[in-house]
């Protein structure tokens, strides 16, 4: 049986500002198993990045977790000791730092992740020495191995060059190498290919799949791009208003979808078969929610809304093996 390594349970996150309180996550649930690539999709503002920030403990000023748990499997003990889940929200600061070190993040903008005054080698050596406490010579050797691992051409030359000399794809490979320097078990990729052209994007996606197998990684891929979902992901979670609308395989999303929002997202995609059919946009616009909404966050936009949707939240229902949907009025 696959091993679950990350579980987010009923997570609530809010942001406080001079204008009031905004609910970002309203009972978010998510799970990740060893060796899988799990996509998280939804409109901007739906809560994807807030979930990632809560997992990493890096919510911005004004953000705070108000409920729920973030459980990470801790298998750092000896071989005879059974691994156990640690709640990252209640663990000691020392334990949090230790176990969160096993989660790496690759962000969208590789330009801001690198110092243009430092060489690729200096970036990598600094991270390796911080992670391993080794000598500079050992760190340089490991840095060269990491450059080869992420398939950088001529790593010896790139080691001595600065980031402003690199293309966007090469910069992203350097950032991925820096993330792998700490030997993570989980990699969170937050729109990490959206700023790249299509050819380079495909190369980075292939690299992530290869690293998943070679480094025994589990990957959370946060994206708006359904092409990426269909290409590399084992399962997908659709999020709206800080809650899960549906989750299942990419095939469930594209061909067996029953939730109005998830189905609307797929229906709004252009046809792959070159037909002249007009696109069907999902009605309305996403708006932030002040306080905690009582009912379904989609109520004002949903073409299948019922009266009870305004005051009640639907539970997730398994409509086929591994395919869960949260809605009172599903498409049949």
Confidence of residue 265 (pLDDT cuts 50, 70, 90): confident
Answer yes or no: do 115 and 63 share one domain. no
Angle in degrees, 0-180, between the axes of helices 120-132 and 168-180, rounded to the nearest 10: 10
Nearest-CA neighbor of 262 among 274, 275, 249?
249
Predicted local confidence at residue 278, as pLDDT: 75
Least confident of 32-36, 221-225, 288-292: 288-292
Answer yes or no: do 81 and 227 share one domain. yes
Is 71 a member of any domain?
yes
Considering Cα of 139, then 179, then 60, then 96, what sign does the dihedral take?
negative
Predicted local confidence at residue 284, as pLDDT: 82
Find the mean pLDDT for residues 295-316: 91
Answer yes or no: do 97 and 122 share one domain. no
Is 331 a member of any domain?
no
Nearest-CA neighbor of 297 among 309, 307, 284, 283?
309
| pTM of the predicted model as reported, rounded to 2 decimal places | 0.92
Answer yes or no: do 151 and 220 share one domain. no
Answer yes or no: do 85 and 125 share one domain. no
Angle in degrees, 0-180, between the axes of helices 168-180 and 198-214, rounded to the nearest 10: 20
Residue that finishes a domain, picked among 157, 183, 209: 183
Answer yes or no: do 246 and 319 share one domain. yes
Find the mean pLDDT for residues 216-227: 92
Answer yes or no: do 36 and 77 share one domain. yes
What is the 8-class DSSP label of residue 119? B
Residue that finishes a domain, picked among 183, 202, 233: 183
Is 288 a member of any domain?
yes
Answer yes or no: do 292 and 248 share one domain. yes
Find the mean pLDDT for residues 264-287: 76
Predicted local confidence at residue 290, as pLDDT: 67
Whether the pLDDT of residue 12 is over 60: the answer is yes
Number of domains composing the chain: 2
CB atoms under 10 Å from CB of 3, counted, come to: 11
Answer yes or no: do 138 and 121 share one domain. yes
Which residues form the domain of 62? 4-102+184-326
Answer yes or no: do 176 and 265 share one domain. no
Mean pLDDT of the chain: 89
pLDDT in tens, 29-50: 999 999 999 999 988 888 899 9
Predicted local confidence at residue 292, as pLDDT: 67
Answer yes or no: do 284 and 159 share one domain. no
Predicted local confidence at residue 273, as pLDDT: 61
- Residues whose CB falls within 8 Å of the CB of residue 19, separated by 6 or more in sequence, listed in order: none
Is 38 a member of any domain?
yes
Residue that finishes a domain, picked among 151, 183, 215: 183
pLDDT in tens, 144-200: 999 999 999 999 999 999 988 888 899 999 999 999 999 999 999 988 888 788 899
Answer yes or no: do 196 and 310 share one domain. yes
- Are 244 and 313 in contact by the 8 Å Cβ rule? The answer is no
CATH of the domain at 269: 3.40.50.300
């Amino acid at each position: 049986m696959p091993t679950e390594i990350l579980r987010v349970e009923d997570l609530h996150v809010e942001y406080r500002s001079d204008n009031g309180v905004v609910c970002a996550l309203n009972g978010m649930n998510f799970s990740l198993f060893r060796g899988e690539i799990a996509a998280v999709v939804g409109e901007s503002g739906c809560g994807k990045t807030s979930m990632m920030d809560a997992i990493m403990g890096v919510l911005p000023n004004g953000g705070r977790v108000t409920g729920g748990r973030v459980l990470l499997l801790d298998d750092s003990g000896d071989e005879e000791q059974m691994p156990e889940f640690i709640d990252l929200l209640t663990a000691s600061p020392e334990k949090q730092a230790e176990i969160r070190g096993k989660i790496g993040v690759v962000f969208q903008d590789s330009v801001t992740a690198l110092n243009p005054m430092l060489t690729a080698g200096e970036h990598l050596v600094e991270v390796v020495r911080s992670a391993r406490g080794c000598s500079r010579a050992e760190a340089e050797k490991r840095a060269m191995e990491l450059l080869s691992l992420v398939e950088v051409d001529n790593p010896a030359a790139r080691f001595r060059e600065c980031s402003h000399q690199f293309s966007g794809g090469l910069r992203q490979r350097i950032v991925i190498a820096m993330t792998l320097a700490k030997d993570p078990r989980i990699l969170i990729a937050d729109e990490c290919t959206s700023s790249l052209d299509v050819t380079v994007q495909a190369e980075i996606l292939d690299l992530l799949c290869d690293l998943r197998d070679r480094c025994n990684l589990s990957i959370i891929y946060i994206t708006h791009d359904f092409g990426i979902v269909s290409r590399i992901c084992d399962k997908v979670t659709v999020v709206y208003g800080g809650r899960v609308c549906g989750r299942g395989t990419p095939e469930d999303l594209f061909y067996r979808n029953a939730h109005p929002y998830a189905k609307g997202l797929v229906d709004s995609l252009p046809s792959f078969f070159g037909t002249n059919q007009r696109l069907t946009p999902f009605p309305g616009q996403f708006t932030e929610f002040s306080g905690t909404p009582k009912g379904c966050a989609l109520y004002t936009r949903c073409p299948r809304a019922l009266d009870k949707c305004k005051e009640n939240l639907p539970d997730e229902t398994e409509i086929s093996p591994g395919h869960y949907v949260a809605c009172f009025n599903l498409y049949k």
